[in-house]
Amino acid sequence: MKRLSLALAATGIALLFAPPAALSEISINIGINAPPPAVVVKAPPEVVVIPGTYIYFAPDIGDEVFFYGGYWWRPHRGRWYRAVEFGDPWVVIEMGSVPRVLIKLPPDYRRVPPGHRKIPYGQLRKHWRQWEKEKRWERASEIREEKRERHKEMREERREREKDRREHHREREKDRQEHRGR
């Protein structure tokens, strides 16, 4: 420690007496991998699955925070961070180790179609593996699509019945008027 202090003092003195041209050549670069600011919430957030993926995001948090593959992920200032549990410290992850599906998220991922519900954190932690294995969200999409089709068919049938009812009413009214005119 004493040697380090002497070395720093000697360097400082040398810099004081160095010609100005020599000073312009010196640069010091200290890289610190500081984690992003903490995400402050009262409890682990509810999440919503991003359609077409098994990535979950926290819609009620202003920051980008994702759950994928058993980890929490967060991009911040050009770097990616990961935590095992929500609220754990964020650890820097090299870009090559970040799942491509996270990097390639569509810019409108926050726009979630109707029918997607928020999932409590406890359910997510307990069931995410099972949901992936069972392809739950593909089935859920199919079910939603089937419901939309059924509703569409029902609306069309209702319109057709209403049209028939109006036509029938017109015909009856026409018959009444003809009958009165006799």
For 34-52, what is each residue's pLDDT tens digit? Answer: 666 666 667 788 998 888 8
Check pLDDT > 80 for residue 85: yes
Which residues are bridge partners to 86 per DSSP? Answer: none
> Cα 175 vs. chain centroid, distance in angstroms?
63
For the residues 125-133, what does the mean pLDDT come to?
85
For 151-172, what is each residue's pLDDT tens digit? Answer: 666 677 778 778 878 887 788 8
Indicate whether 16 belongs to any domain.
no
Is pTM beyond 0.75 here? no
Domain residues for the domain of 156 are 135-182
Based on the domain organization, do 39 and 110 belong to the same domain?
Answer: yes
pLDDT of residue 4: 41
Q: What is the mean pLDDT of the chain?
A: 75
Question: 100 falls in which pLDDT band (50, 70, 90)?
Answer: very high
Q: Return d(Cα 13, Cα 11) in angstroms, integer.
A: 5
Is the pLDDT higher at 23 or at 42? 42
Domains contained in the chain, number: 2
Which of 12-26, 88-102, 118-132, 144-158 bottoms out in mean pLDDT, i.e. has the lowest? 12-26
Based on the domain organization, do 81 and 142 belong to the same domain?
Answer: no
pLDDT of residue 33: 59
Based on the domain organization, do 129 and 96 belong to the same domain?
Answer: yes
pLDDT of residue 97: 94
Based on the domain organization, do 52 and 128 belong to the same domain?
Answer: yes
Question: 73 falls in which pLDDT band (50, 70, 90)?
Answer: very high
What is the strand order of the sheet 48-49 is part of? 48-49, 56-57, 66-68, 71-76, 79-83, 91-93
Based on the domain organization, do 157 and 146 belong to the same domain?
Answer: yes
